[in-house]
Every structure is written in C-alpha cells, then in structure tokens.
C-alpha cells in the first residue's frame, strides 16, 4: 500500500450486518486502511468477514487492541492492522511478530520511542485535539523521519491539513467520518470530504 498520506477509517460501533456497505463505500472513495475497534458489537465476526470480502483491496484490522489474546484472534482472522490506544510493548511485540502492521497510541516522546523499540511501524498521537499541531510538530522533530505519525482524535476535514503541515503522514478518522448507526451515504459523503481535504486519493501501489 502507498504510504504517502495515510487516512485510517475508524468504524467504532459498526455491526457485522452493516460492515460490508460502509467498508465498501470507503474503499470506493479511496480509503485503504480500515479499523474496526474491538469495543464494537461482535467484532469477532465483522473483522474476518471484512478481511475475506475486502482483504485484497485494503489493509483491514482491529483497533483498541489491549492484550495479546486479542492480537492472536486478529491474526487468526487474517487481519493485517493492529491499532492500540496506548503503548503496551507486549501487544506491540506480538503483533509485529505476527507480521502485522502496528499503529501504537502514544502522547509523549518516551512513549513514542518505547513503541518503536517494541516494533511499532506507525505512531498515533492521541488525543490529537488536546495537544494540537504545534505539539505534534515538536514531537515529530525528535522522531525518526521515516516513521509515519498519525493524528487521531478530533481530526476534521477542516483541520486535517493543519496536522499534515505539522508533520503527520495522515490521520485516524473516527466520529467525523463514521458514527454508529449512520447511513452508508453519510459515510460516503464524509469520505469524500476527507479525500478532498487530503488533496489526492490514497491509492494502492
């Protein structure tokens, strides 16, 4: 997958019955990274179903991953993305050992380097809205240049460019993109707004 700019769709609260319609719409609009948080209803069904349906077109995985057992379930489901809300080295190490892409949540330089040492390939600054682009720019200055940093939490089509200008490679998009229970056309419309703010689509290699 092309990593020039990374937008990760966070589909918190989606159900197995809803997942195909929303993920299909997001992929059609250019999203290539899709996360179903593990506090969503019946994620153990949704994620493997979506991997089977769309795994050849997108990187699909789980978010809010808190323990090694969840990593194992995701690996068995064929998920290729693990997103954590925190810096928990055992989870990061296990997911990396399974060959999964790990986006680890962090807020400080210490947490960021602990996540990288454990094997995380991406870092997410959460909650980005509480820190702001200036903080992320300062953090970015001391991190390895090749490591993608994503802003997560409070990112909108209106402020996405501010985070990109601060050195983020992309963002994780939650309630501004998808809210549990909304219609597929709402998801499609919001996806288009974010893609327009990005300036170009995220496309596969």
The yes-or-no verdict on residue 67 having pLDDT over 90 is yes
pTM over 0.95: no
pLDDT at 71 over 90: yes
- Tell me: pLDDT of 9 over 70: yes
Mean pLDDT of 148-165: 97
Residue 204 has pLDDT above 80, yes or no: no
Q: What is the Cα–Cα distance from 16 to 42, expressed in whole angstroms?
A: 7
Q: How much is the pLDDT for 205?
A: 33
Which residues carry out catalysis? 35, 124
Domains (range + CATH), the chain: 6-198 (3.20.20.70)
Indicate if the pLDDT at residue 3 is higher than 60. Answer: no
Q: Please state, in angstroms and as integers, the Cα–Cα distance from residue 79 to each residue in 43, 95, 101, following that order.
A: 12, 10, 9
């Amino acid at each position: 997958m092309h990593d020039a700019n990374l937008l990760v769709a966070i589909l918190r609260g989606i159900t197995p019955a809803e997942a195909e319609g929303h993920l299909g719409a997001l992929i059609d609009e250019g999203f290539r990274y899709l996360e179903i948080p593990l506090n969503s209803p019946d994620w153990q069904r949704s994620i493997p179903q979506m991997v089977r349906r769309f795994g050849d077109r997108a990187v699909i995985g789980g978010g809010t991953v808190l323990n090694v057992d969840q990593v194992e379930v995701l690996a068995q489901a064929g998920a290729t993305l693990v997103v954590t809300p925190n810096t928990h080295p055992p989870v990061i190490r296990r997911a990396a050992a399974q060959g999964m892409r790990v986006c680890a949540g962090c807020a400080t330089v210490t947490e960021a380097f602990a996540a990288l040492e454990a094997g995380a390939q991406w870092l997410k600054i959460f909650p980005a809205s509480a820190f702001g682009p200036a903080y992320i720019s300062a953090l970015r200055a001391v991190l390895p240049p090749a490591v993608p940093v994503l802003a997560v939490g409070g990112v909108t089509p209106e402020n996405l460019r501010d985070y990109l200008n601060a050195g983020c490679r992309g963002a994780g998009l939650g309630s501004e993109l998808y809210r549990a229970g909304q219609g597929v056309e709402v998801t499609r419309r919001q996806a288009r707004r974010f893609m327009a703010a990005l300036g170009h689509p995220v496309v596969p290699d």
